[in-house]
Structure 1
């Protein structure tokens, strides 16, 4: 099939949505499809390039002020460009990953040329609200959900990564059918390799001590301050917290670690290239994710595929990956003492780590990326047949 994926965020942008869009595009191309992605230019000017078997139509972009690592495509000219692109390509399906500048223009263009639309939602206003004054949270969220509904109501098939994410859409007024389809994970590349964590810690230049790991953006909604404040509550005195990723809150987190007296035990790895990520997970004893705005969490899936127990916030979709007491622990958001106790329980018991890690791996296998790619192929064929029948 010829597939056009529309996304306002794509690597090198750092977000779960961009990583999913990239893996979907490359995975589909690897299965023999003609895949095109329309996304923001990573350098600014518009260009067309090929990467990993995918044709990238990168549109003129500027930096997004609230997320300097993400680029934004200004709306002027985008609708006309998408109309021309869809008219020229005549894809079998348009698959949008969001309802912003590129996504909404792609949906409109697809409807104009009678091309079926699949829409996947990775958005919730909670990712934006921490950057706004509190009195604006409710009105901004209402506007955001109304805007989302206006675009996604026009899709032929809507997906989102988890049942919790689908329920969230329904709770915010979206009355269409929504299918949960996991983002998926490469369970071959992300897997335990049998080597002790210390081997990988030494490769990364980290001390060989018990290690709590977080992978992702260092931004407000991730609530990483709770992890730092929980560290002194862990009885394993030499435990270290490793934070892999970049974001707007790094300097603030460094200052907090100093105030809590744990600066020497908090390691900032910065941006980690994708090919080094498996080794980062294998260097850890437990993965922790205290954020409350996760519609699935690709990083958590990768950690689980590497057989790590997980301590996660009991919020949104994380309970779909973490079964309390089985492959990890769920902690109420804001419960720093509970977070420290959960980490302590895992770090002080090798048997618990092995049992929980094995269950994490088993759960991750049910999210293997080949299942995700196969399901989207089925969805594409179904909507294409339906549109042909109506035509």
Structure 2
């Protein structure tokens, strides 16, 4: 099958949860033998209009990142590519409308991968994107609710969760440097201070903690740990690859999730698969609590004090380095879900 991804911003140009997810899925599908074109703003150097990386053919629709220019040129680029399925990111929403224009001519379905609304996305265009997609793919029930509130029919929205490399979790060594782990991009939504406040409540106990991640709030996290006088037991490690991150999780006992905004808590998923006890601070704009519902090694809290209490209570769980309950989140399993949705929508489109 030939799948055309549409995203003004590719992960190589602006990396966030949405672009990283699109890149993982595109590369995963290419590795499974599909033809994958990724239509985007140009991110590579040189005169070429296309560039292949990890078997994904990136096609430059525009040189710059003007959403208007991208939307105006996208239908022509899609017609040249000629895909069987169009898979568009929800933001900017103008690219969804442009993809729909091309899809009518090509007689192919448009699937919209919905992650989050960005600054500058107008409500009118957001609602149009939600209503005009043949299928909306979301990472969590939280995001599904938001899309339905913007006009998408419930039966047209499918939850496809994030994925991890379960084989890596099984085979990785164990790194025992930390008992407690926090991991996420350290931006304005990270709320790492809540984790550090909980640790400060436990300063009279024996523990070691790491914060994994980088971003504009990294220095603030370091300063907060120092102000709370726990910086001698908290290491801020920066961004790590899965090969570096997973061994630390396998050696840890508790993973704390406190971010205020999280369409899908992928770092928490890695931790749960690695046997950590997941302690999730409930936030209205975070889906993290969904991963610990009905999980015997997970709990939801509402305050740093409750988080500290649950860290203590986690001693009642044996240490583990693998939790088979999360094997269904493996990359291949989730990619099979995408393939089924593509086939279903293509078959359904052919009926009309």
Q: TM-score, with normalisation over the residues of structure 1?
A: 0.79
Which position in structure 2 is the counterpart of 1:281? 249
Which position in structure 2 is the counterpart of 1:22? 23
SS of residue matched to 1:77: helix
- Over 3 Å counting, the alpha-carbon distance change for 1:7 and 1:75 in structure 2 is closer
Gap runs ≥5 in structure 2: none
Which position in structure 1 is the counterpart of 2:128? 150
- Over 3 Å counting, the alpha-carbon distance change for 1:99 and 1:325 in structure 2 is closer
1 CA distance for matches of 2:36 and 2:179?
40
Aligned counterpart in structure 1 of residue 80 of structure 2, from 69, 80, 88: 88
Deviation at 1:47, TM superposition (A): 5.1
Which position in structure 2 is the counterpart of 1:341? 309
Which position in structure 2 is the counterpart of 1:39? 40
Which position in structure 2 is the counterpart of 1:363? 325
2 CA distance for matches of 1:42 and 1:263?
39
Aligned counterpart in structure 2 of residue 57 of structure 1, from 59, 63, 68: 59
SS of residue matched to 1:354: coil
1:183 aligns with 2:171: no
2 CA distance for matches of 1:33 and 1:157?
20
1:119 aligns with 2:115: no
Aligned counterpart in structure 2 of residue 222 of structure 1, from 177, 186, 190: 190
- Over 3 Å counting, the alpha-carbon distance change for 1:284 and 1:79 in structure 2 is same
Which position in structure 1 is the counterpart of 2:145? 167
Deviation at 1:8, TM superposition (A): 4.3
Tell me if the contact between 2:139 and 2:161 (Cα under 8 Å) persists in the aligned partners.
Answer: yes
Deviation at 1:116, TM superposition (A): 1.0
- Over 3 Å counting, the alpha-carbon distance change for 1:231 and 1:61 in structure 2 is farther
Tell me if the contact between 2:184 and 2:213 (Cα under 8 Å) persists in the aligned partners.
Answer: yes
1:322 aligns with 2:292: yes
2 CA distance for matches of 1:275 and 1:196?
11
Deviation at 1:112, TM superposition (A): 4.8
Which segment drifts farther, 212-221 or 116-125? 116-125
Tell me if the contact between 2:255 and 2:277 (Cα under 8 Å) persists in the aligned partners.
Answer: yes
SS of residue matched to 2:58: strand
Which position in structure 2 is the counterpart of 1:75? 67
- Over 3 Å counting, the alpha-carbon distance change for 1:326 and 1:16 in structure 2 is same
Which position in structure 2 is the counterpart of 1:67? none
Deviation readout 1:348-376 (Å, 9 max, x if unpaired): x2x50437x66xx2331122222221121
Deviation at 1:321, TM superposition (A): 0.7
Tell me if the contact between 2:9 and 2:40 (Cα under 8 Å) persists in the aligned partners.
Answer: yes
Deviation readout 1:69-123 (Å, 9 max, x if unpaired): xxxx222421233122211111001111223165554344334543310112111
Which position in structure 2 is the counterpart of 1:380? 342
1:197 aligns with 2:175: yes
Deviation readout 1:20-60 (Å, 9 max, x if unpaired): 21221111112110011123445688852211111123566
Tell me if the contact between 2:97 and 2:128 (Cα under 8 Å) persists in the aligned partners.
Answer: no
Count of residue pairs brought into register by the alignment: 346
1:354 aligns with 2:346: no
- Over 3 Å counting, the alpha-carbon distance change for 1:89 and 1:181 in structure 2 is same
Deviation readout 1:113-150 (Å, 9 max, x if unpaired): 4331011211157xx6xxxxxxxxxxx9xx75543221
Q: TM-score, with normalisation over the residues of structure 2?
A: 0.86
Tell me if the contact between 2:264 and 2:287 (Cα under 8 Å) persists in the aligned partners.
Answer: yes
